[in-house]
Structure 1
Amino acid sequence: MAAHVLRLRLALLTGALRGDTGHVMRMAAGAVVLAVAVAAACGALLGLTDASAEITLTVTVLCGSAVTLAFAAAPLVTGIEDPLDPRRFAVFAIAPGPLAAVLVGAGLLSVPVFALVPLAVCLVIVWAAHGVAWGVAVLAVVLGLLTCVLLGRVAYAVAALVFNERRSRELTGIFLLAVLVVAVPIVVFFASLEWGRRVPSQLVEVAGLLTLTPLGASLGVAARTDTDGSSWIPLAVALATLVVLAGLWVLLVRRMLTTTPRPIAARGRGGLGWFAILPGTPGGAVAARSLVYWMRDRRYLVNIVVIPVAAALTIAPLAIVGVPAGAIALVPVPLMALFLGWLPHNDLAYDHTAIWMHIASAMRGVSDRIGRLVPVLLVGVPLLAVTMPLAIWVHGRWAVLPALVGVCAALFFSGLGLSSIASALAPYAVSRPGDSPFQQPERTGGAMSQALVLVGALVAAFPALWWGWLALTGDASEAWVAFWVGAVSGVVVLVAGVLIGGRIFERGSTRLMEFAEAT
Structure 2
Amino acid sequence: MAAHLLRLRLDLLLGALRGDARHVTRVLLALLALIVVVAGVVIGTLRLQTAGVDVAAAVTIVAGSALTLGVFAAAFMGGIDDQLDPRRFAVFGLSPLSVAGSTFAAGILSLPVLALIVVAVAVGRLWVGLGASVALTIVAAVLGALTCALTAKVALAFAGLVLPGRRSRELAGVFLVAVLVVVIPTALFFVSLEWNGQVPSALREAVEVLSVTPLGAAWAIPAASLSGSFTGPLLVAIATVLALGALWVWLVHRLLTTAERPAVARERGGLGWFALTPSTPAGGIAARSLIYWLRDPRYIVNLAIVPVVAVVVIVPLLIVGVPPAYVALIPAPLMALFFGWIAHNDLAYDSTALWMHVASAVRGASDRIGRLVPVLLVGLASLAVVVPLTVSLHGRWAILPAMAGVCASLFLSGLGLSSLASVVSPYAVSRPGDSPFQQPQRTHGGLSQGVVLLGALVLSVPALWWGWRAVAVDVDETWPALWAGLAIGLVVLIIGVVAGGAVFERRGGRLMEFAEST
Fold in common (TM above 0.5):
yes
Contact 1:54 1:204 in 2 (8 A): no
C-alpha displacement of 1:202: 4.1
- In structure 2, what residue type is equivalent to 1:401? L
C-alpha displacement of 1:327: 1.1
Question: Could you say if the C-alpha distance between residues 114 and 282 of structure 1 is closer, same or farther in structure 2, counting changes exceeding 3 Å?
Answer: same
1:317 aligns with 2:316: yes
C-alpha displacement of 1:99: 3.3
User: 1:82-138 CA distances to partner (integer Å, 9 max, x unpaired)?
Assistant: 111223334444443333222222111112112223322221122112210222212
C-alpha displacement of 1:260: 4.3
Equivalent pairs, count: 518
1:9 aligns with 2:15: no
Most deviating of 371-380 and 489-498: 489-498
2: distance between equivalents of 1:509 and 1:92?
Answer: 57
C-alpha displacement of 1:167: 5.2
1: distance between equivalents of 2:495 and 2:296?
Answer: 29
Question: Could you say if the C-alpha distance between residues 460 and 121 of structure 1 is closer, same or farther in structure 2, counting changes exceeding 3 Å?
Answer: same
1:510 aligns with 2:509: yes
Equivalent runs, 1:109-508 vs 2, <5 Å? 109-165=109-165, 168-226=168-226, 228-262=227-261, 271-508=270-507
- In structure 1, what residue type is equivalent to 2:82? D
Contact 2:64 2:216 in 1 (8 A): yes
Question: Could you say if the C-alpha distance between residues 156 and 43 of structure 1 is closer, same or farther in structure 2, counting changes exceeding 3 Å?
Answer: same
Q: Corresponding residue for 2:99?
A: 99
Structure 2: state its 5+ residue gaps: none
Give the SS at the match of 1:47.
Answer: helix
2: distance between equivalents of 1:223 and 1:335?
Answer: 44
Contact 1:269 1:276 in 2 (8 A): no
2: distance between equivalents of 1:498 and 1:284?
Answer: 15
1: distance between equivalents of 2:99 and 2:508?
Answer: 61
2: distance between equivalents of 1:518 and 1:184?
Answer: 45
Question: Could you say if the C-alpha distance between residues 264 and 298 of structure 1 is closer, same or farther in structure 2, counting changes exceeding 3 Å?
Answer: closer
Structure 1: state its 5+ residue gaps: none
Contact 2:165 2:264 in 1 (8 A): no
C-alpha displacement of 1:268: 6.3
Contact 1:165 1:270 in 2 (8 A): no
- Structure 1 runs (4+) greater than 6 angstroms displaced: none
Contact 1:270 1:276 in 2 (8 A): no
Most deviating of 411-420 and 66-75: 66-75
C-alpha displacement of 1:345: 0.5
2: distance between equivalents of 1:90 and 1:459?
Answer: 61
2: distance between equivalents of 1:96 and 1:73?
Answer: 25
1: distance between equivalents of 2:196 and 2:128?
Answer: 21
2: distance between equivalents of 1:370 and 1:333?
Answer: 24
Give the SS at the match of 2:329.
Answer: coil
Question: Could you say if the C-alpha distance between residues 280 and 341 of structure 1 is closer, same or farther in structure 2, counting changes exceeding 3 Å?
Answer: same
Give the SS at the match of 1:132.
Answer: coil
Q: Corresponding residue for 1:29?
A: 29
- In structure 2, what residue type is equivalent to 1:13? L
* TM-score between both structures, scaled by the size of structure 1: 0.95
Question: Could you say if the C-alpha distance between residues 256 and 448 of structure 1 is closer, same or farther in structure 2, counting changes exceeding 3 Å?
Answer: closer
Give the SS at the match of 2:24.
Answer: helix
* TM-score between both structures, scaled by the size of structure 2: 0.95
Contact 1:166 1:270 in 2 (8 A): no
- In structure 1, what residue type is equivalent to 2:108? L
- In structure 1, what residue type is equivalent to 2:314? I
The percentage of counterpart residues that share the same residue type is: 57
RMSD: 1.9
Most deviating of 35-44 and 163-172: 163-172
C-alpha displacement of 1:254: 3.3
2: distance between equivalents of 1:90 and 1:203?
Answer: 47
Contact 2:267 2:275 in 1 (8 A): no
C-alpha displacement of 1:155: 2.0
C-alpha displacement of 1:458: 0.7
- In structure 1, what residue type is equivalent to 2:138? V
- In structure 2, what residue type is equivalent to 1:132? A
2: distance between equivalents of 1:64 and 1:344?
Answer: 40
- In structure 1, what residue type is equivalent to 2:421? A
C-alpha displacement of 1:177: 1.9
User: 1:137-186 CA distances to partner (integer Å, 9 max, x unpaired)?
Assistant: 12111111111112222222222233214653222222222222222211
Question: Could you say if the C-alpha distance between residues 62 and 460 of structure 1 is closer, same or farther in structure 2, counting changes exceeding 3 Å?
Answer: same
User: 1:212-261 CA distances to partner (integer Å, 9 max, x unpaired)?
Assistant: 122111112112223x3211111111112222222222233334334444
2: distance between equivalents of 1:309 and 1:266?
Answer: 42
